[in-house]
Amino acid sequence: MLRRAGLPRSGVEAWKYTSLRALGDVPFAAAPGTPDDAAVHAIVTGAEQAFALDGAMPRAVFVNGRFDPSRSSLPDGVSVGRFQALDEESDDEPAADVASALNAILAEDGLLLRVAPGVDAGRLLLLSVGAGADGTPISFHPRHRIELGQGAALSVLDLSVGQGAYLNNPVFDIAVGDGARLGHAKMQAEAAGAQHLAVVHAEIGAGGLYDSFTLTLGAALARHEVHVRLAAPGAVVHVNGAQLLDGRQHADLTSVITHAAPDCNSRQTVKNVLSGHARGVFQGKILVERVAQKTDGYQMNQALLLSETAEIDAKPELEIYADDVRCSHGATVGALDPDQLFYLRSRGIVEHEARAILVKAFLHDAVDLIGDEILRATLDRAVESWWNRKDA
């Protein structure tokens, strides 16, 4: 698909608000096989300190898209494989989306993680480190698969950090079995010169839950795309997130949630805080197939613009073929309420602290949706850190 059509043009509806023209002009090189160990150590240590990561949490570390066993400590109770096994088992055709097609061509490594039926595997830190070399832009394309058996449970903190100029293009294939629960908290804190294109393909079984949250902080250009299929009765998905952007950052959160069975539930709340000349994009679609009676779907995007030059493009969408459903969607855009700001200032609170209080209150409802309390606390600290750096 990618070889035939190339990168999407502005006329492609799914990419209407996000241009990859700049990406196509960069001569990305393959990631070096032996990155600078001192540089990688500094990046990992900086991330651990900045986000107060639990050093005891099992972790899988990827450096420039390749698994690093020396920095990894994989959890008990799960079966772990590598990309080669994943590739051999996959009979699927490459997905039609751009990032997945690019990944299918260039992927070299990834994680195959299986949780056996009935096993609670606890938490796992999936840490992706981008380490550019000698100012040469590099690209890497990790490909991961997570499979939860019937009644299994797992919480994943998916953190991307780095330094230099690079393209990180991860793809996740996720299968949540009947009655299983997967928490997936993603924190994208890439380097300022990085590009980040990510895709999640997830299928949820009967009574299963995929509880996801994406916090976008870094990268010059970022797009996180989620395709979820609720494949059996009682399946539930949460596709929540927040974008905190400044300068000339551009970030796009695109989702397609397909209700393919009756009595399924989907929830999506995405909040944007945009400053400077930043641009945020939200495209969310709920597709209800004819068989999916008793569907309950909700979608909301809210944006807070902190400058007159910030921009948000929001396109929530419903496509419904069943006749017994409850679905709603909406979008709001606004600035800080001057009356609320005045009230706080009149109580002796200085302006930057008053603004911080209002921004954090705006984001609280979104971050509070994260089911795992440890992951929620980690992302909450990341939000606090972002505001402190921005307001410094």
Structural domains counted in the chain? 1
Contact 150, 178 (CB under 8 A): yes
3-state secondary structure 24-71: HCCCCEECCCCCCHHHHHHHHHHHHHHCCCCCCCCEEEEECCEECHHH
- Spatial CA neighbour of 110 closest among 90, 131, 133: 90
Is 200 within the bounds of a domain? yes
Is 133 within the bounds of a domain? yes
Query: How large a percentage of the chain has pLDDT more than 90?
Result: 65
What is the average per-residue pLDDT within 252-279?
A: 97
Q: Residue 211 and residue 266: Cα distance in Å, rounded?
A: 10
What would the pLDDT profile of 331-387 be if each residue is shown by its tens digit? Answer: 999 999 999 999 999 989 988 888 888 988 898 888 888 888 888 888 888 888 787
Is 340 within the bounds of a domain? no
Is 265 within the bounds of a domain? yes
Is 342 within the bounds of a domain? no
What would the pLDDT profile of 139-169 be if each residue is shown by its tens digit? Answer: 999 999 999 999 999 999 999 999 999 999 9
Is 348 within the bounds of a domain? no
Q: Residue 93 and residue 98: Cα distance in Å, rounded?
A: 14
**To which H or E segment does residue 299 belong?**
strand 295-305
What would the pLDDT profile of 101-131 be if each residue is shown by its tens digit? Answer: 888 888 889 999 999 999 999 999 999 999 8
SS3 344: helix
- The answer for residues whose C-beta is within 8 angstroms of residue 45's C-beta and 6 or more apart is none
> Does the pLDDT of residue 93 top 50, yes or no?
no
- Its domain, for residue 314, covers 2-335
Which region among 29-43, 69-83, 238-252, 317-331 has the lowest average model confidence (pLDDT)? 69-83
| Band of residue 194 on the pLDDT scale cut at 50, 70, 90 | very high
Is 351 within the bounds of a domain? no
